[in-house]
C-alpha cells in the first residue's frame, strides 16, 4: 500500500506543477503532429489526452508522459491518404474515410501491444546495447530540435516561408529569454518548475507589452485548424460499419497496425529506460505495453489520434519534479480543461516560449558525453552510436533501433566467433583431453571443428566444456557431429561438464550419448538474469 501511494504521488505539489507545465508543452506538439498526419488538431489533442490519462494510471513508469507523437504520425499519413482516395471512389462517397480507417487500425495496434505485454515481450528492451541507447537519445534530441525549427516559419498564401526581419528578432529574443529563465530559475529556487515560470513570464511580457508574436492560436489557424475550442469526442462505434470498405485493403491495415505498434512500443520502452536512468528507479516494460495498447484501443473507439510515450515531455516532467502518477494524470486533465474551457487563454501563449522549453529539453536530452568518449570506446560501438543517431534523424526511431541492435549483434557474434579455443593435454593413461574455452554457437562452429584431429588422435578422447557454453542448436550439432566422428572410428570419447540443457538435447538426438556424457558435481549451472529480475518486479 505504501508503495502504491508513493507511486501515485511522492510529492503532490511537484506533480501538479510539473503536470501543468507538461500540459502547456503538449499543446503545440499534439497540434503539429496532427498536421503531419493530415488530421484535425482536436483529434491529436484528444488522442494526447486519452493516451496520457490511461498510461498515467495504468502504465509501468510513474512520471512518464504519453501523447500524440511524430514517430507515429509519419506512419499514419499514407494510410489516411489511401483511405481518403478509396472513400472518394466509392459509389456513395465517404468523407474522411482515411480517418475512419485510422481508428480501425488503432484497435489492432492496441491488441498487438497488449499481446506484447501479456506475453512479457517488454523485457527484450534490455537487449538493446548502450551505444544504441546513446544513439537513440542523440538522434531524438536532433529530431526534436529540427521539429522546432518549423515553428520559425509562417504560412503565406498556402506556402510556408521562414520569418524574417523584426518577427524573427522577436522570436529569437523570446526563445533566448525563455531558455535563460529555465537556466537561472533552479539556482534561485526549485519549488516551482522553471519551464512553467518561463512560459508565464514570457506570455505576460508579450500580452502586457502588446508584442506581436506568433501564438498557439495563430499557429493552429495558419496550419488550417479552427482553434483549440472543442467538445468531448463523439463515440466512434460506427467505424465497425465501415469494415466492408477495407475489402482488398487488409494488407495495408495490417502492415500499418504492426508498424505503428512496433514504433510505439520501441519509443515507449526506450523512453522508459531513459527515465529509469534519470530517476534511478525501475519501471515495468510489460505493464507499459498493456497500458499503451489499452490507450490506443480507446483512441480507436473514441476518435483520438493514438500515440505513445513522449521523451521530450517526459524529461520536462522529471526535470520539473514530477515523479508520481499524479503528474501524468494532472497533465492529461489540464490538457482536457484547456480544450474545453481555457482555449482562449492557451491560444495566447507565445510559440517562442514553448520553443524555448523544447530547446532546453534538447540540450538536456543530448548525451554530450558520447562525443567525448567516441575515441575511447571500441570502434564498432562508436559506429553503432553514429549510425543509430543518423537513422533516427533520416528515417525513424524503430528502423534506427532495429538497425543498431542488428549491427551490434553481428559485431558481438563475430567477436565471439573467433574466441573459441581448445587447450590440449595428455593424461597419464594416454587419454587426450581437449579443454574448450569460449562460447560455442553458430558463429564459432567452423573454428571449433578445426581444433580436432580425429584420425590421428589416440583411442581415448575427452572433451571438457568447463570453460565453454554451448549456446544454440548449431553448437549442439557441432558437439554431436564431432562425437560421432570419433565413435564411427571405434574410439572411446567422453564429454564432460556439459550444461543440463545440452545433455538433454544430445540424448534426444542419439540415445547412445548417455554412455559418453560424464556427469560431475561441478557441472556448470547457467541462469538467465533477466528471468530472475522479472520475478521481482
Angstrom distance (rounded) from CA 325 to CA 163: 40
Residue pair 418/450 in contact (Cβ under 8 Å)? The answer is no
CA distances from 418 to 262, 414, 444, 450, 519 (A): 34, 7, 6, 12, 28
Among 15, 19, 1, which residue's Cα sits nearest to residue 333? 19
Q: What is the pLDDT of residue 231?
A: 57
Residue 206 has φ and ψ, to the nearest 5°, of -70, -35
Judged on CB neighbours under 10 Å (0-12, 13-18, 19+), 19 is buried
pLDDT at 347 over 50: yes
Cell numbers at residue 304, please?
483520438
Mean pLDDT throughout 35-50? Answer: 84
Q: What is the pLDDT of residue 330?
A: 95
Cell numbers at residue 192, please?
516551482
Q: What is the pLDDT of residue 278?
A: 85
Q: How far, rounded to the nearest angstrom, does the alpha carbon of residue 10 sit from its chain's CA centroid?
A: 26
pLDDT at 138 over 70: yes
Whose cell is 530547446? That residue is: 359
pLDDT at 158 over 70: no
Handedness of CA 129, 132, 138, 141 (dihedral sign): negative
Judged on CB neighbours under 10 Å (0-12, 13-18, 19+), 157 is exposed
pLDDT at 339 over 50: yes
Among 66, 19, 64, 62, which residue's Cα sits nearest to residue 324? 62
Whose cell is 519549488? That residue is: 191
Q: How far, rounded to the nearest angstrom, does the alpha carbon of residue 501 sit from its chain's CA centroid?
A: 33
Please list, in sequence order, all residues whose beta carbon lies within 8 angstroms of the beta carbon of residue 337, skipping any fewer than 6 positions away.
Answer: none
Residue 192 has φ and ψ, to the nearest 5°, of -120, 130
Summarize pLDDT for 244-261 with one digit per residue, the tens: 778 788 899 999 999 899
Q: How far, rounded to the nearest angstrom, does the alpha carbon of residue 244 sit from its chain's CA centroid?
A: 34
User: Which range has the top average pLDDT, 6-15, 101-110, 125-134?
Assistant: 101-110
Pairing of strands 421-426, 432-437: antiparallel
pLDDT at 483 over 60: yes
Angstrom distance (rounded) from CA 478 to CA 450: 11
Domain boundaries, the chain: 12-149+158-224+231-397, 418-518
Q: What is the pLDDT of residue 288?
A: 94
Average pLDDT, the chain: 84
Among 433, 417, 438, 336, which residue's Cα sits nearest to residue 52? 336
Among 391, 102, 96, which residue's Cα sits nearest to residue 259? 102
Beta strands in 293-420 (DSSP E): 308-309
pLDDT at 7 over 70: no
Mean pLDDT throughout 273-301? Answer: 91
Name the CATH superfamily, with its identifier, for domain 418-518. Answer: STAS domain (3.30.750.24)
Q: What is the pLDDT of residue 236?
A: 55
Distance in Å from the first CA to the final CA of the chain: 15
Q: What is the pLDDT of residue 111?
A: 96
- State the number of CA atoms in the 13 A half-sphere of 212 facing the CB: 4
Residue pair 485/448 in contact (Cβ under 8 Å)? The answer is no
Please list, in sequence order, all residues whose beta carbon lies within 8 angstroms of the beta carbon of residue 2, skipping any fewer than 6 positions away.
Answer: none
Q: What is the pLDDT of residue 266?
A: 86
**Residue 494 in 3-state DSSP?**
strand
Cell numbers at residue 133, please?
541507447
Amino acid at each position: 500500500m505504501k508503495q502504491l501511494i508513493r507511486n501515485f504521488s511522492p510529492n503532490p505539489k511537484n506533480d501538479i506543477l510539473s503536470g501543468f507545465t507538461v500540459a502547456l508543452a503538449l499543446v503545440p506538439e499534439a497540434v503539429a503532429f496532427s498536421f503531419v498526419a493530415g488530421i484535425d488538431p482536436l483529434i491529436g489533442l484528444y488522442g494526447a489526452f486519452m493516451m496520457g490519462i490511461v498510461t498515467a494510471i495504468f502504465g509501468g513508469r510513474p512520471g512518464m508522459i504519453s501523447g500524440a507523437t511524430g514517430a507515429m504520425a509519419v506512419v499514419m499519413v499514407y494510410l489516411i491518404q489511401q483511405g481518403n482516395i478509396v472513400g472518394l471512389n466509392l459509389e456513395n462517397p465517404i468523407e474522411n474515410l482515411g480517418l475512419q480507417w485510422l481508428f480501425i487500425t488503432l484497435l489492432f495496434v492496441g491488441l498487438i501491444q497488449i499481446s506484447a505485454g501479456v506475453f512479457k515481450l517488454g523485457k527484450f528492451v534490455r537487449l538493446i546495447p548502450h551505444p544504441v541507447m546513446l544513439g537513440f537519445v542523440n538522434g531524438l534530441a536532433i529530431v526534436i530540435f529540427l521539429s522546432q525549427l518549423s515553428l520559425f516559419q509562417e504560412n503565406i498564401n498556402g506556402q510556408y516561408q521562414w520569418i524574417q526581419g523584426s518577427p524573427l528578432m522577436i522570436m529569437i529574443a523570446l526563445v533566448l529569454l525563455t531558455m535563460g529563465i529555465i537556466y537561472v530559475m533552479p539556482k534561485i529556487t526549485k519549488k516551482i518548475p522553471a519551464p512553467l515560470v518561463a512560459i508565464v513570464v514570457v506570455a505576460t511580457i508579450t500580452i502586457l507589452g502588446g508584442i506581436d508574436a506568433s501564438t498557439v492560436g495563430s499557429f493552429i489557424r495558419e496550419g488550417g485548424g479552427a482553434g483549440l475550442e472543442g467538445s468531448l469526442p463523439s463515440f466512434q462505434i460506427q467505424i465497425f460499419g465501415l469494415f466492408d470498405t477495407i475489402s482488398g485493403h487488409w494488407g495495408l491495415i495490417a502492415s500499418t497496425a504492426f508498424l505503428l505498434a512496433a514504433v510505439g512500443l520501441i519509443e515507449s520502452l526506450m523512453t522508459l529506460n531513459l527515465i529509469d536512468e534519470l530517476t534511478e528507479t525501475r519501471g515495468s516494460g510489460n505493464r507499459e505495453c498493456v497500458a499503451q495498447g489499452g490507450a490506443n484501443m480507446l483512441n480507436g473507439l473514441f476518435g483520438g489520434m493514438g500515440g505513445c510515450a513522449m521523451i521530450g515531455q517526459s524529461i520536462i516532467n522529471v526535470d520539473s519534479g514530477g515523479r508520481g502518477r499524479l503528474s501524468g494524470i494532472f497533465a492529461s486533465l489540464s490538457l482536457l480543461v484547456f480544450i474545453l474551457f481555457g482555449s482562449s487563454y492557451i491560444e495566447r501563449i507565445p510559440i517562442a516560449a514553448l520553443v524555448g522549453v523544447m530547446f532546453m529539453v534538447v540540450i538536456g536530452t543530448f548525451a554530450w558525453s558520447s562525443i567525448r568518449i567516441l575515441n575511447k570506446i571500441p570502434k564498432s560501438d562508436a559506429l553503432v552510436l553514429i549510425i543509430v543517431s543518423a537513422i533516427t534523424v533520416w528515417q525513424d526511431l524503430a528502423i534506427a533501433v532495429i538497425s543498431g541492435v542488428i549491427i551490434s549483434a553481428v559485431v558481438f557474434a563475430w567477436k565471439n566467433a573467433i574466441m573459441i579455443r581448445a587447450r590440449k593435454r595428455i593424461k597419464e593413461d594416454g587419454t587426450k583431453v581437449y579443454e574448450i574455452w569460449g562460447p560455442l554457437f553458430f558463429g564459432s562452429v567452423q573454428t571449433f571443428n578445426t581444433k580436432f584431429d580425429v584420425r590421428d588422435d589416440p583411442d581415448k578422447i575427452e572433451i571438457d566444456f568447463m570453460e565453454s557454453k554451448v549456446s544454440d542448436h548449431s553448437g549442439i550439432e557441432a558437439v554431436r557431429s564431432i562425437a560421432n566422428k570419433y565413435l564411427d572410428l571405434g574410439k572411446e570419447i567422453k564429454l564432460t561438464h556439459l550444461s543440463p540443457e545440452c545433455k538433454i538435447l544430445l540424448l534426444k538426438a542419439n540415445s547412445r550419448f548417455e554412455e559418453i556424457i560424464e556427469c560431475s558435481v561441478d557441472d556448470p549451472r547457467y541462469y538467465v538474469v533477466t528471468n530472475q529480475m522479472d520475478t521481482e518486479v
